Structure 1
Amino acid sequence: MIGRLSAVVLDCPDPAALAAFYAELVGGTVEADDGTWVDLDRADGQKLSFQLAPAHRAPVWPDPERPQQFHLDIAVQRAEMDDAEKQVLALGATLLEGDLDGTRNWRVYADPAGHPFCLCAC
């Protein structure tokens, strides 16, 4: 092993706002500096960071011309999927692709900056 993963960093036009969105989604404490970089510190040691990118161009789902490049999978109890969807939509997420009438175990969303993430039934 050469090192350990210290953070996943998302480029975005408003780091504080996107950190607040993910704090509501997965928990954690928002730590901001001068507004160009914001960390979301989590008790389990996982860290999400948000970096100012004024010219950020959100990926388009699914479009190879502007691919997702990565996405986050958020585990949710199967019985709580509908409620979790209501909550992420209320926070500003956008539904990109549903679970095909329950035939698959995930739903795809975009966060407020356009990054895709999935709610995955567990």
Structure 2
Amino acid sequence: MSHVTAAVLVLDCAEPEELCEFYRVLLDGKIQSQEGGGRIELVGAGGTRMAFRRDLNAVPASWPRPDDSQQAHLDLLVAAEDLDEVERQIVGLGARPLETRGKGRTESRLYADPAGHPFSLRSTEEFVKPKAS
């Protein structure tokens, strides 16, 4: 039996207040706690938990890395018919498109948030339809 109750994705950044606001709008979230300006925690309407920690030396991730190593990133799930609308919202909030080619039912679009962390929009259809064995 696990005693772990939740997982929180923590992003280091120079301006946690600004980055928290970006994700608060996208996730229709509420700020849960703020620890003296050094860390802000957010809970999205769907239960997603994130935190933003001040690190004045934080540098944006390189995506994709030349050595093709795996990096952590956030997948935001969106209904396929809403991908274009959410993309406009994301860019309007300050995200930078990295790769936005459509790929049909399993479409995924990659962006960098205002602090440079990679994240993707993914069609929810690939998560609700059973995969063939």
Q: TM-score range, shorter-chain basis?
A: 0.7 to 0.9
Question: 5 Å matches for 1:18-97?
Answer: 18-30=19-31, 31-64=33-66, 69-97=71-99
Q: Give the CA deviation at 1:22.
A: 0.2
- The farther-off stretch of 57-66 and 16-25 is 57-66
Aligned-partner SS, 2:4: coil
The equivalent of 1:108 in structure 2 is 110
Deviation digits for residues 71-91 of structure 1 (CA, Å, limit 9, x no counterpart): 111111111111111000000
Q: Give the CA deviation at 1:8.
A: 1.3
Gap regions ≥5 residues in structure 1: none
CA distance in 2, matches of 1:36, 1:68: 27
1:12 and 2:13 correspond: yes
Aligned-partner SS, 2:53: strand
Count the aligned residue pairs. Answer: 121
| CA RMSD, 1 decimal | 2.1
Q: Using structure 1 for the length normalisation, give the TM-score.
A: 0.86
Aligned-partner SS, 2:76: strand
Q: Using structure 2 for the length normalisation, give the TM-score.
A: 0.80
Q: Give the CA deviation at 1:116.
A: 0.5
Gap regions ≥5 residues in structure 2: 125-133
Q: Give the CA deviation at 1:121.
A: 1.1
CA distance in 2, matches of 1:73, 1:34: 29
Q: Give the CA deviation at 1:66.
A: 9.6
Q: Give the CA deviation at 1:98.
A: 1.1
